């Protein structure tokens, strides 16, 4: 099993999108890459903590490769918009790909270089090693599954039927 950490605006939609994919075995939403220990949602929303809303994705690389994860990620984000996805604005809603294994860095950076050719504006996705990750409060975990009519800007229908569990 491998892990990758993805920031793509509101973490509810990122989590719900990846939960439906074959090969994803677990997701946890939380806060990462910031300067405070064990932040809570109200603190992160101030923009003062430096944390982003992140979804930790645990996946079986025998079923779903890192490249496949990145391809899915690019389906649900606008990689050219800084500190905003959909209606959510602020540094906590930035896009980012965070890794624990330095070998993944080259693959991620190569993927971004390839993708840049398809955009007229620069890709502004933050890439770096995971510095820290703190699981969000329980009510944020599996939020869209638990909350009928819960809102998110991510189009969950972008996963093809054959890619779903």
- pLDDT tens readout for residues 21-40: 999 999 999 999 999 999 99
Query: Which pLDDT score, from 0 to 100, does residue 151 have?
Result: 85
pLDDT over 90 percentage in the chain: 96
How high is the pLDDT of residue 152?
87
Tokens encoding 118: 């398809």
What is the rounded (10 degree) CA torsion for 135, 139, 143, 147?
180
Collapsed DSSP state (helix, strand, coil) of residue 89:
strand
* Alpha-carbon torsion (56, 61, 65, 68), positive or negative: negative
**Bridge partner list, 55:** 6, 29
Q: How confident is the model at residue 19 (pLDDT cuts 50, 70, 90)?
A: very high
Average pLDDT of the chain, as a whole number: 96
Q: What pLDDT shows up at residue 148?
A: 83
Residue recorded with tokens 């699981």: 135
For the question of residue 55 being annotated catalytic, the response is no
Q: pLDDT value at position 75?
A: 98
DSSP state of 164: B
pLDDT score recorded for residue 20: 97
Closest by Cα among 163, 150, 119 to 13? 150
Write down the domain spans for the chain: 2-163
The CATH number of the structural domain formed by 2-163 is: 3.30.1060.10
* Catalytic residue (one of 10, 45, 55, 152): 10
**Mean pLDDT value of segment 89-93:** 96
Q: Which of 1-15, 84-98, 121-135, 143-157 has the lowest mean pLDDT?
A: 143-157
Report which secondary-structure segment, H or E, holds 75: helix 66-76
Q: Which helix (H) or strand (E) holds 13?
A: helix 11-19
Q: What is the pTM of this model?
A: 0.97
Count Cβ atoms below 10 Å from residue 67 Cβ, excluding itself: 13
pLDDT at position 150 is 86
Sign of the alpha-carbon dihedral angle for 99, 103, 109, 111 = negative
């Amino acid at each position: 099993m491998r892990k990758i950490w993805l920031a793509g605006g509101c973490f509810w939609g990122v989590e719900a999108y990846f939960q439906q994919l074959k090969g994803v075995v677990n997701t946890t939403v939380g806060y990462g890459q910031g300067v405070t220990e064990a932040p809570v949602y109200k603190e992160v929303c101030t923009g003062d903590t430096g944390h982003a809303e992140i979804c930790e994705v645990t996946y079986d690389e025998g079923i779903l490769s890192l490249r496949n994860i990145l391809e899915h990620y690019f389906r649900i984000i606008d990689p050219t918009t800084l500190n905003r996805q959909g209606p959510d604005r602020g540094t906590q809603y930035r896009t980012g790909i965070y890794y624990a294994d330095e070998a993944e860095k080259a693959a991620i950076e190569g993927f971004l270089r390839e993708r840049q050719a398809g955009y007229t504006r620069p890709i502004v996705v933050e890439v770096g090693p995971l510095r820290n990750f703190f699981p969000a409060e329980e009510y944020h975990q599996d939020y869209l599954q638990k909350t009928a009519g819960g809102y998110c800007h991510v189009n969950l229908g972008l996963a093809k039927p054959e890619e779903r569990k």
